[in-house]
Amino acid sequence: MKLFRYGAPGKEKPAVSLPDGRAIDVSAEVQDFNEAFFSGDGIDRLSRWLDAHAEAAPEVPADSRLGPCIARPSKIICIGLNYAKHAAESKMDPPKEPVLFFKSTTALVGPNDDLMIPKGSEKTDWEVELAVVIGKKASYIKEEDANSHIAGYCVHNDYSERAWQLERGGQWVKGKSADTYAPLGPWLVTPDEAGNTADLRLWLTLNGQTMQDSRTSDLIFGIPHIVSYLSQFMTLLPGDVISTGTPQGVGMGQKPQRYLRPGDVVRLGIEGLGEQMQTAKAYHPAS
Ligand code: ZN
């Protein structure tokens, strides 16, 4: 199943993209794709509801804005330096254990919303990543059980302010958490439709030029290991997002370095999980 959310920011409604190409509103059955939905066996229940009601459900207008594919979760956890060549371009050694950092959940936006370059930022950079959404509350998950804790997969652009992340001391969270820094979607794709997530192509272009083009088979720490590892340190809740790291080709790794400016257009995607597009805009206060 491909779950998505549409409508004005903060007022999104849940919807499903069907195999026949129709996109239908499922708000008659589901309040939102949130913690309660995932913990209450929501995907299986929605699947059964669709068998009986998909035909008559209202269609989503074709020009609708897409929101983040899930409601705001309890946490967004990111893995740093999880592709060997990206660690090298960042001038860091490949990690012996996964590098963890948090990203503010207020950074979430829809997959095609504008990127707003934050106030004072000179080093806003891109990072295409495969994100995992947790389906069950759990801690101390065994690696062999990890897949049964995953609700689905989606595309995430882990936007990063490199000066704030790396040049100002303290934790990376400062450079990862600005508004619009976490476009998520277009869809949350359930595991049965996501293909072999251990080997999917992921790519990103800047103004039409390919910057990142790799495969998840190059991950240093694979998805089951990451889910298990994280759960040794914190309880994972349904709807939590784990972003698995970015391959080489970020702006910081270019010679000379290349950071985003107003008017730049970023496109990215992952095989089977859909595509995103953001246009960079100068900082302006939220209305
Ligand atoms: Zn990242």
Q: Tell me which residues have their CB within 5 A of the ion that is ligand 1.
A: 127, 158, 246
Does residue 160 carry a pLDDT above 70?
A: yes
Distance 157 CA to ligand 1 centre (A): 8
Distance 78 CA to ligand 1 centre (A): 6
Does residue 273 carry a pLDDT above 80?
A: yes
Distance 49 CA to ligand 1 centre (A): 36
Average pLDDT over every residue of 268-281: 98
Distance 95 CA to ligand 1 centre (A): 14
Question: What per-residue confidence (pLDDT) applies to 285?
Answer: 83
Q: What is the pTM of this model?
A: 0.97
- Binned at pLDDT 50, 70 and 90, residue 287 comes out as low
Distance 56 CA to ligand 1 centre (A): 41
Question: What per-residue confidence (pLDDT) applies to 37?
Answer: 97
Distance 9 CA to ligand 1 centre (A): 24
Mean per-residue pLDDT over the chain, rounded: 96
User: What are 205's strand-pairing partners?
Assistant: 210, 267
Domains of the chain: 2-53 (no CATH), 76-281 (3.90.850.10)
Among residues 85, 125, 68, 151, the alpha carbon closest in space to that of 251 is found at 125
